[in-house]
Amino acid sequence: MPKNRPYLYHELTNSICSTCYRKAEAKIIEENGRIYMVKRCLVHGPEKVLISTDVEYYHRTREFVKPSEMPQIWNTPIKYGCPYDCGLCPDHEQHSCLTLLEITDHCNMKCPICFAESSPHRTSYRSLEQIAFMLDRIVENEGEPDIVQISGGEPTTHPDFFEILEMCKSRPIKHIMLNTNGVRIAQDREFTRRLASYMPGFEIYLQFDSFEASVLKELRGADVRRIREDAIRHLNEFNLSTTLVVTLKKGLNDHEIGKIIQYGLKQRAVRGVTIQPIQAAGRLEGYDPSTDRLTVSEVRQMIIDQSGVFNENDILPVPCHPDCLAMGYALKLGKQVLPLTRMIEPEVLLEGDSNTIVFENDPVIRGKLFELLSTGHSPISSALSLKSLLCCLPLAAVPKQINYDNVFRVIIMQFLDAYNFDVRSVKKSCVHIVHPDGRIIPFDTYNLFYRDDKEQLLEERKREIVTAWE
């Protein structure tokens, strides 16, 4: 009798070795109700990485596909193979839903977890000429970019900050986001008032990780609770559209997800919560990538368990990059919260509970909701699609005046790192960053290969590929 493997083999992909970043063939397997990536580097040996704790949800991500949308131009040729050709090279399978524009590496905080390694000691500000060049490249790539996110460092410390905002506004960008730690917003009411004058089509992406001093000290290097409170007060005063951005670390602040969502629902200015899991990535002693990683499926389950709003039919994969993005929508109607996404499920007949309104199981509404998710995670597209959805709702209870103020979305946004890196998946990445030389690069590969001196390692890998060819 032949013996069976103790796992199910699902597929083969390419990853990279987490030590040397050379490409490594990887199997995706199912074992004990979990999905793992198993890969082997010819130099550094085997690795086993946890990919998902929920087999059913993992397979569901594969069903959420739609034809890939392309940018208007490609910037680099296919030469060394993915991920060494960014980009975007013609092998990429998604345009930029969101493009980051970093305008400085200076910051008024010094967070231990900063991927850009920004700090008060770094003091370079990009010139207006450089920023204009980068913005023009984004527009050249996208025509009318969905979202440009002004980022840093801390972008509000740039001496020409408002001029840069004007430069963004004067280009055909549908939605501008400001990625900020909120320090200036908290300390300067007049600054917040001026920011609010850039609405509509402008939103704050506010760092908001925890209500606990010890957690904030570990993630941010300081107890910034007062700063967060003051920032939210000013943002509420001017009803400046805000997304709370939670950097989530396993075992540290993952018990606070529900509390942050509930808090966000009560704030006038807050339109949603985006949760970005970080990986310990070897900094912790005894770190085991096969067990210690925070996966999308775990974060999704925490939202379901803790939020009191969303259930398993509400947080669904986003079709533009279903491995790494999951999203759920709700409507804020005064004190009522109405979860919407569950209506995509044909078999689910919605019953109202204490904080929802009863809906018909209407296929038109479900179709509209799928359309809503399929438009990606752009706030502007979600607002527009919600508007068309709301035309179909047979609800006397829904007020006539519903707009972006009523939208509340929860997003899980995972970035691939050297452990879970998957070439199949990274090609679908739709969160990109503009390189100072004008290339548009997936955020995942940028942090691994293209940021600052990391390109030296990339050059080494490319030289090896050329040598192997010769």
Binding region for ligand SF4 (CB under 6 A): 82-83, 85-89, 91-92, 426-427, 442, 445
**C-beta of 75: minimal distance to ligand SF4 in Å?**
8
In the complex, least distance from residue 440 CB atom to ligand SF4, rounded to whole angstroms: 8
Owner of token pair 């980009």: 87
By beta-carbon proximity to ligand SF4, the closer residue of 379 and 442 is: 442
Residue placing its CB nearer to ligand SF4 in the complex, 178 or 433: 433
Contact between residue 463 and residue 361 where contact means Cβ atoms under 8 Å apart? no
- Return the number of the residue (16 or 86) whose C-beta is nearest ligand SF4: 86
User: C-beta of 374: minimal distance to ligand SF4 in Å?
Assistant: 21
Q: What is the CA radius of gyration of the chain?
A: 22
Closest approach of ligand SF4 to the CB of residue 41, in Å: 19
- As measured in angstroms, the least distance from the Cβ of 442 to ligand SF4 is 5
Rounded CA gap, 428 and 442, in Å?
9
Q: Which is nearer to ligand SF4, 85 or 256 (CB)?
A: 85
Closest CB 71 distance from ligand SF4, rounded Å: 10
**CB proximity list for 382: less than 8 A, separation 6 or greater:** 329, 372, 375, 407, 409
Burial group, residue 400, by CB count within 10 angstroms (0-12, 13-18, 19+): exposed
> Closest residue (Cβ) to ligand SF4?
87
What residues does 440 pair with on adjacent strands?
Answer: 87, 434
| Pair type for strands 325-333 and 316-317 | antiparallel
CA distance 401 to 380: 17
Cβ neighbours for 234, distance < 8 A, ≥ 6 positions apart: 185, 186, 189, 192, 240
Q: How many CA atoms lie within 13 A of 255 on its CB side?
A: 5
Q: DSSP letters along 101-155, please?
A: EE-BSB-SS--TT-TT--BTT---B--HHHHHHHHHHHHHHHSS-SEEEEESS-G
| Choice between 81 and 201, CB closer to ligand SF4 | 81
Shorter beta-carbon distance to ligand SF4: residue 22 or 122: 22
Nearer to ligand SF4, 156 or 425 (CB): 425
Q: Which residues contact 7 (CB under 8 A, 6 or more apart)?
A: 29, 30, 31, 36
Least distance CB 427 / ligand SF4 (angstroms):
5
